[in-house]
A = this chain, B = another copy of it.
């Protein structure tokens, strides 16, 4: 029943050869790979205003354009840098891979840990922002924003466990729809402004008294810049996905980078301009985009179109993380720094363990931060810019090592990228430390430590198990083991007969072992044993504490003590199996307990002799006995 339900929800199993990869061209690839970046527009302008407006009020709208320009300048440097990454890593150059190749394992783990945190935050932030888009169009849902966010995560998890292909073309529509809506909004807003369509100025009381220019500290401006940098998250996605493009892949990817830059400049720049023209004041219950739409179009259809396209592109951005995070972890798992199970494909060929892990982590973040976009973004940018910096620094080393034609120019661009993002991460870390960035500074080193511990474990296991090829020819697989078989016996019955026969077929050195739990309880067994025509000894030990496993362990210890080298002890456990699971609960299943305990305690081979019982339904069972074996 459960299996059928599971198949309905998650789909039928897929064969390995079905692992296709549809190649993308620029037209389809741009929207799919840029959704994370472009969707940031939905909250980046708001983040800048949230820093400025409460402190300097209307003066914010003087600083806003400069900050937006600085962010766009940083974007251009980043995009130029990443176009070089595409050239150098045509098989996909995530920060983890670039850092591993050029900077060494610790840096790659730092990049891997930062990226893991980021992917998780991408889901949490995008989903929280998608809920905000929905609830600012439908204010009555505001109280349910956590539930809405969790529902969206659940849908993403199920969809991805079924195996949504990120490359499915349908996923390009939300991005184009969002870009189009923003372009319409910006155009209409500018026209309305220019034609004197009287922007609705915010009511005076919503803006605190301006404390004057002298109070505008550099720190505040830098903080606003740091907050706005959330517009640049997700730029890395394209460099990871180079192999997904049609030939010439690198060239297409670079074109996509150029288009991405253009899209962000238009959308982010446009919204920033509008926010300035219409002097939008951030409101936790209405996003900046909703406020702009209301000011420009009034309540009506456009409001719902904006909410829908924003919600969709944000959900798509979260979905990008559902493709990136499990893939990243599978790469790290192949290097042995995270549990191996993360590199295994599930029955739908996706990395289902990674998908589940990501969903759980994002759901926890949503609950802890009550789906508050603003609080989550404070954690967000640190990790993003750390991986940017590591990746660009790695590229500088790469060009230095390679020194191919024109390498100095490329190295310079990447160095500029590393430097600016390095400065940015420092700025963001300091200005947002108290707001939550400290969590990242705790979590990332913690993840690195765990990764190193896991790697140590795998290395230790490998060292103890591996056999070098040179030694293979010398291995003698034949042995002259002297077998000694111990058969724990509770009472004498058909299943014991089967076990003793099996034991005897291996060796003549067989012993039956019984633990007497209550005084005199073993007499019946002893009487039956004496009626047998056998030389197999029955060893009985009395257990005052009604404990079986310890006595068996002690006995095995004493036998091991008396054994010769080459002797090998097998504990042969008869265990019956009944047709229904509930029936197993009616039995002690001592053999299975002993098997478990023996495996953990002693260097003995544990064999289970199954005895399958039928389902006899009649209450008054015939007294006759079936022939034994």
Q: Which of A167-175, A251-259, A307-315, A474-482 contacts B (4 or more CB under 8 A)?
A: A474-482
Task: Give the docked Cα–Cα distance between A466 and B493 (Å).
Answer: 5
Is A614 an interface residue when CB atoms closer than 8 A count as contact?
A: yes
From 573 to 629 in chain A, residues with beta carbon under 8 angstroms from any chain B beta carbon are: 575-578, 583, 585-588, 595, 599-600, 603-619, 621-622, 625-626, 628
Would A621 and B460 be within 8 Å (CB), given that A340-B586, A493-B466 are in contact? yes
Judge whether B544 and A464 touch: CB under 8 Å.
no
Judge whether B585 and A339 touch: CB under 8 Å.
yes
Residue among A16, A497, A506, A568 with the highest chain B CB neighbour number at 10 A? A16
From 545 to 576 in chain A, residues with beta carbon under 8 angstroms from any chain B beta carbon are: 545-547, 568, 570, 575-576
Task: Give the docked Cα–Cα distance between A497 and B534 (Å).
Answer: 35
Judge whether A616 and B464 touch: CB under 8 Å.
yes
Judge whether A605 and B607 touch: CB under 8 Å.
yes
Judge whether A545 and B347 touch: CB under 8 Å.
yes
Judge whether B616 and A612 touch: CB under 8 Å.
no
CB neighbours of A534 from chain B (8 A): 477
From 500 to 526 in chain A, residues with beta carbon under 8 angstroms from any chain B beta carbon are: 500-502, 504-506, 517-519
Across the two chains, which residue of chain B brings its CB closest to A510? B477
Q: Which of A149-157, A279-287, A321-329, A448-456 contacts B (4 or more CB under 8 A)?
A: A448-456
For the complex formed, measure the closest distance between the CB of A459 and the CB atoms of chain B, giving whole angstroms.
Answer: 5
Judge whether B502 and A578 touch: CB under 8 Å.
no
Judge whether A478 and B504 touch: CB under 8 Å.
yes
Judge whether B533 and A457 touch: CB under 8 Å.
no
For the complex formed, measure the closest distance between the CB of A551 and the CB atoms of chain B, giving whole angstroms.
Answer: 13
Judge whether A340 and B504 touch: CB under 8 Å.
no
Is A17 an interface residue when CB atoms closer than 8 A count as contact?
A: yes
Is A458 an interface residue when CB atoms closer than 8 A count as contact?
A: yes
Judge whether A492 and B467 touch: CB under 8 Å.
yes
Interface size on A, residues (CB 8 A): 100
Across the two chains, which residue of chain B brings its CB closest to A595? B608
Across the two chains, which residue of chain B brings its CB closest to A533? B473
Is A463 an interface residue when CB atoms closer than 8 A count as contact?
A: yes
Task: Give the docked Cα–Cα distance between A372 and B15 (Å).
Answer: 60
Would A610 and B605 be within 8 Å (CB), given that A341-B588, A625-B466 are in contact? yes
Judge whether B599 and A610 touch: CB under 8 Å.
yes
CB neighbours of A481 from chain B (8 A): 501-502, 505
CB neighbours of A452 from chain B (8 A): 619
Across the two chains, which residue of chain B brings its CB closest to A613? B464
Judge whether B502 and A568 touch: CB under 8 Å.
yes
Judge whether B621 and A458 touch: CB under 8 Å.
no
Is A528 an interface residue when CB atoms closer than 8 A count as contact?
A: yes
CB neighbours of A344 from chain B (8 A): 546, 588
Is A495 an interface residue when CB atoms closer than 8 A count as contact?
A: yes
CB neighbours of A480 from chain B (8 A): 505
Residue among A475, A576, A621 with the highest chain B CB neighbour number at 10 A? A475
CB neighbours of A458 from chain B (8 A): 586
Across the two chains, which residue of chain B brings its CB closest to A459? B621
Judge whether B497 and A467 touch: CB under 8 Å.
yes
Is A184 an interface residue when CB atoms closer than 8 A count as contact?
A: no
Judge whether B475 and A533 touch: CB under 8 Å.
yes
Task: Give the docked Cα–Cα distance between A617 and B456 (Å).
Answer: 7
Would A467 and B479 be within 8 Å (CB), given that A340-B586, A473-B533 are in contact? no
Judge whether A578 and B457 touch: CB under 8 Å.
yes
From 1 to 57 in chain A, residues with beta carbon under 8 angstroms from any chain B beta carbon are: 13-17
Q: Mark A421-465, 1 if CB is under 8 A from B, else 0.
A: 000000000000000000000000000000010111111110111
Judge whether A13 and B545 touch: CB under 8 Å.
yes
Is A471 an interface residue when CB atoms closer than 8 A count as contact?
A: yes
Across the two chains, which residue of chain B brings its CB closest to A568? B502
Judge whether A505 and B477 touch: CB under 8 Å.
no
Is A218 an interface residue when CB atoms closer than 8 A count as contact?
A: no
Judge whether A578 and B493 touch: CB under 8 Å.
no
CB neighbours of A406 from chain B (8 A): none
Across the two chains, which residue of chain B brings its CB closest to A483? B505
Is A368 an interface residue when CB atoms closer than 8 A count as contact?
A: no
CB neighbours of A618 from chain B (8 A): 456
Task: Give the docked Cα–Cα distance between A155 and B321 (Å).
Answer: 51
Judge whether A518 and B459 touch: CB under 8 Å.
no
Task: Give the docked Cα–Cα distance between A568 and B454 (Å).
Answer: 41
Is A494 an interface residue when CB atoms closer than 8 A count as contact?
A: yes
CB neighbours of A528 from chain B (8 A): 469, 472
Task: Give the docked Cα–Cα distance between A13 and B574 (Å).
Answer: 28
Judge whether B502 and A467 touch: CB under 8 Å.
no
Judge whether B608 and A606 touch: CB under 8 Å.
yes
Is A531 an interface residue when CB atoms closer than 8 A count as contact?
A: yes
Is A532 an interface residue when CB atoms closer than 8 A count as contact?
A: yes
Would A588 and B340 be within 8 Å (CB), given that A479-B501, A493-B466, A546-B16 are in contact? yes
Is A536 an interface residue when CB atoms closer than 8 A count as contact?
A: yes
Task: Give the docked Cα–Cα distance between A588 and B340 (Å).
Answer: 8
Would A625 and B477 be within 8 Å (CB), given that A454-B586, A586-B458, A607-B570 are in contact? no
Judge whether A544 and B15 touch: CB under 8 Å.
yes
A531 CB contact (under 8 Å) in B472, B570, B578, B613: B472
A-B interface, 10 closest residue pairs, ranked by CB to CB distance from nearest = A460-B616, A15-B544, A607-B607, A472-B531, A465-B493, A481-B505, A479-B501, A477-B500, A479-B505, A477-B534
A-B contact list, 10 entries, CB within 8 Å: A15-B545, A460-B616, A461-B578, A464-B626, A467-B493, A467-B628, A477-B497, A477-B532, A478-B504, A599-B610
Interface of A toward B, CB cutoff 8 Å: 13-17, 339-341, 344-345, 347, 452, 454-461, 463-469, 471-481, 483, 492-495, 497, 500-502, 504-506, 517-519, 527-528, 531-534, 536, 544-547, 568, 570, 575-578, 583, 585-588, 595, 599-600, 603-619, 621-622, 625-626, 628
